[in-house]
Amino acid sequence: MPQIPVRNPRTGKVDAWIMPPISADLSQQCDRLRLAQPAWQSAGLGQRIAALQQWKHAIQQHSEPLIQALVADTGRLDISALEVDSVLSSLDRWCQLAPELLQEIEKPTAIPFIHLQQDSVPYPLVGVISPWNFPLLLSLIDTIPALLAGCAVIVKPSEIAPRFINPLLDTVNEVPELRDILTFVEGDGDTGAALIEQVDLICFTGSIKTGRQVGEAAAKRFIPAFLELGGKDPAIILKSADLDLATSAILWGSVVNTGQSCLSIERIYVDQAIVQPFTEQLIAKATQLKLAYPTLNDGEIGPIIAERQAAIIADHLQDAINKGAIVQCGGKIETLDGGLWCYPTVLTGVNHTMKIMTEETFAPIMPIMPFATVEEAIELANDTIYGLGAAVFAGSTSEALEVGDRIQAGAISINDAALTALIHEGEKNAFHYSGIGGSRMGAAALKRFMRKKAYLIKTKPVFNPWWYV
């Protein structure tokens, strides 16, 4: 099987190669994990928590090589460090929550002599296929709760950002109990497709196109598929909103990680009475941000990670300009020392005939469209095949909630933006083509890796009244 080249997003050069496993090797890895999973499950939650806390310590001890690998993967420093910190926090959070969430339930039933005992059984082997925009964080967002549930897990990260795999495996190998039931494999879409044929449950984060293929393959095998797909999140700014707060929140929600996030704000609808001051404030703030070039510490905006994404961004921008959009700042992709960069961009004069308003762009681009009535704003926000998240800004929480209630999306940030990146307690489901399956936030994120099992126990030696006489 040929090696796969890995491009450095800061230089544009291929400086690494990965080797996907041949079919027999992948099968052997999955067989090894399956063989070890029953012992991991029967060891009990306490021992699983102890193992994950050991893993947390190993990650802390080896955080520097992990961060450096993420920098090479993504071309940005601060968010790479934040990814590591977020994983450490996630390990603590799930270890604290798991004992309560995984309690067995015992209770009487409607029939006095029948008692119910509720149990849950983990899926033996979970497969995770993760994307390139947050390589570490999104490879573990499903993995950690699955491990605590008692599953074995095999992860196939994106071939675009795979360098973190080896330093992360070094930390896994420091925890004997963990290395038997968790591994990461290199590879591209072919390896991902082969993985689906080997596991009992699949978690996928990525595009709608690939997500459809994953869902169809899982359906053929009759296994659950949890698909977290694309987004085109809208923000609605009502006339009563605090413009300083709204522009700051939307700027962050639109350009953090260079806009390479499924929960980025990608469409902005502003009451026509305030659209001019809103736009002026957003432009003023956007133009203060700088590229993280020529060094990692020079600015806030990192490079475009995936070369193929740069082509999509350029196409969306040109399509918008051709159809009458006006570039207020930014507006182009620049090549610097081989890396591809996009300045924070504000567009006006946009409409829903443009790709920039209807297709996922994954860039630090903020297209602004005025609305005359709240009804129009809601209609525009819902005019999409996506439904991941949204944001509403208003002078009062109640006013914002009234609008948010009518937006067809799973997570609505009120007087803020992209809060699901930081707040993990709220369960949410994707609407429309943004995904399918149980919530990866809140208690459901752990429970979806368990199959519920009911024991219906007769407590008295009596004849049931529905038996034949």
In the residue annotation, 228 being an active-site residue is answered as yes
DSSP assigned state of 419: G
Q: Locate tokens 């490079």: which residue?
A: 303
Distance CA 152, CA 35 (A): 9
Q: Locate tokens 């921008």: which residue?
A: 317
Distance CA 368, CA 390 (A): 15
In the residue annotation, 106 being an active-site residue is answered as no
Name every residue whose Cβ is closer than 8 Å to that of residue 50 and which is 6 or more positions away in sequence. Answer: none
Considering the candidates 83, 228, 359, 360, report the single residue annotated as catalytic: 228
Considering the candidates 95, 151, 203, 262, report the single residue annotated as catalytic: 262
Task: Give residue 100's Cα distance to chain centre.
Answer: 25
Helix (H, G, I), strand (E, B) or coil at 435: strand
Name every residue whose Cβ is closer than 8 Å to that of residue 214 and which is 6 or more positions away in sequence. Answer: 129, 192, 196, 202, 204, 225, 227
* Three-state DSSP string of the chain: CCCEEEECCCCCCEEEEECCCCHHHHHHHHHHHHHHHHHHHHCCHHHHHHHHHHHHHHHHHCHHHHHHHHHHHHCCCHHHHHHHHHHHHHHHHHHHHHHHHCCCEEEECCCCCEEEEEEEEECCEEEEECCCCCHHHHHHCCHHHHHHHCCEEEEECCCCCCCCHHHHHHHHCCCHHHHCCEEECCCCHHHHHHHHCCCCEEEEECCHHHHHHHHHHHHHHCCCEEEECCCCEEEEECCCCCHHHHHHHHHHHHHHHHHCCCCCEEEEEEECCCHHHHHHHHHHHHCCCCECCCCCCCCCECCCCCHHHHHHHHHHHHHHHHCCCEEEECCCEEEECCEEEECCEEEECCCCCCHHHCCCCCCCEEEEEEECCHHHHHHHHCCCCCCCEEEEECCCHHHHHHHHCCCCCCEEEECCCCHHHCCCCCCCCCCHHHEECCCCCCCHHHHCCEEEEEEEEECCCCCCCCCCC
User: Which of the residues are catalytic?
Assistant: 228, 262
